[in-house]
Amino acid sequence: MEQYGKILLFAMPAFLILVLFEKWYGWYKGQDTVPTMDMIASLSSGITNVIKDVLGIGIAVLGYDWLADRIAMTHMQSTWFAVLIAFFVLDFAGYWVHRIDHKINFFWNSHIIHHSSEEFNLACALRQSISTFLKLFAFLLIPAALLGVPSIIIATVAPIHLFAQFWYHTQHINRMGFLEKILVTPSHHRVHHAINKEYIDKNYSQIFIFWDKIFGTFQEELPNVKPVYGITRPTQTWNPIRINFQHLWLLIQDAWHAKTVKDKLRIWFMPTGWRPTDVEAKYLVNKIEDVYNFEKYAVKTKPLFLMWIWIQLAGVLLLISYLFGNIAAIGSPGMFVYGAFIFIYVYAYSELMDGNKYALVWELIKASVGLAIIFYSGDWFGAVKYFPWIRIFLMVYFIASAAITGWFVYSTGKAETPLTLSV
């Protein structure tokens, strides 16, 4: 937990710099693939995900340690060979988890956030789930457990394996020659994120593309079929927290409305997108039928509004940097209070990005929680010893933030309303 937080202190600025560089490069080349609001939504999703992961909010139903203790035929030392084995096994497991996430209704909810952007860029790589509380697939690590790969190796290699999937989320790198036969490349992953009938549910591999070729799910990018990105049931929001639970909420509603007990139970394990016939006829859901003729989600913005959203994002990035750098000192339950506050913070400005009038309600909740923490503790999680002025600064910020949000929500000059853009 603490170690992962320290790793993120270095990883987060690196990812942010690369995202902003891609934004600049696209502008420079006349091919901007990183719309600002979409980028901020993606960065916000990444923030919520790393908070969840660093705080360890999740339960492994079957842990790797437990598995290795019972089935290991030998015990490997922590060598580079063990690292190599761990990397291959994690990649094999990643392929199957990824495929299951796409194919089964219940598990799709844990992955929908990653595909929710209607763009394809480095920022969308940061859209990762906060809705997975039960980790069910440790059994896919059986090959490593049989060989007795130490759990510390698995724990160390796992974030490296995850971070190595960042770079290929871009439209600015074309075919890569011989590497296309071995590694997942941007071309392969553009196919995976596309909703064209030629591409959908293909290329599940994470690092080594040969898993798709072995298991029959490979599709190369076709020169005459330009990928169209997103999901067939568009989310229509910039709020990453709401996106994380939209599909689950639809399943709950459909299970409630289904007439038969059989449908109420099987809906969770049917192929992704399946709905009972009677429910589908009565309760319509917006679905893209023609991927070449639909409207992308967007929100009308003015420069002043956009500047305020950037200020909000900068504020939350500074706050989580402090948390990750001081998580051991903050301890429990303080770190969970801090994490909850960050979630409220992100929810509040994401609602404002959507032009939702309830953004002010969430902003007032944020301000109230922030002020309550300061008044109750007389501090901001130990920050006063480093920054004696921090209490006054944060108090002024929380109050000003609520006032400014209220102005954007209710002023006649706001005009931040949802709109759509043609593909």
301-344 pLDDT, tens digit per residue, is 889 999 999 999 999 999 999 999 999 999 989 999 999 999 99
| Domain termination site, one of 156, 189, 215 | 215
In a domain, 273, yes or no: no
| Coil vs helix vs strand at 295 | strand
- The pTM assigned to this predicted structure is 0.92
In a domain, 268, yes or no: no
The CA distance from 153 to 344, in Å, is 35
DSSP assignments along 372-400, one per residue = HHHHHHSSSTTGGGT-TTHHHHHHHHHHH
In a domain, 224, yes or no: no
In a domain, 254, yes or no: no
Contact 299, 415 (CB under 8 A): no
What domain count does the chain have? 2
**What tokens does 244 get?**
């994380």
| Domain termination site, one of 215, 243, 276 | 215
Whether 36 and 176 share a structural domain: yes
Whether 171 and 40 share a structural domain: yes
414: pLDDT strictly greater than 50: no
Whether 198 and 328 share a structural domain: no
CA end-to-end span of the chain, whole Å?
A: 42
Give how far Cα 161 sits from Cα of 93, 153, 189, 206, 316, Å.
12, 12, 16, 8, 26
Query: Which phi and psi angles does 420 have, rounded to 5°?
Result: -130, 150
pLDDT band at 40 (very low <50, low <70, confident <90, very high): very high
In a domain, 169, yes or no: yes
| Domain termination site, one of 171, 186, 215 | 215
> What pLDDT, in 10s, does the model give residues 183-204?
999 999 999 999 999 999 999 9
In a domain, 156, yes or no: yes
Find the mean pLDDT for residues 267-285: 95
In a domain, 264, yes or no: no
Query: What domain range includes position 322?
Result: 299-417
Please, which residues have CB within 8 angstroms of residue 324's CB and are 6 or more apart in sequence? 5, 6, 8, 9, 54
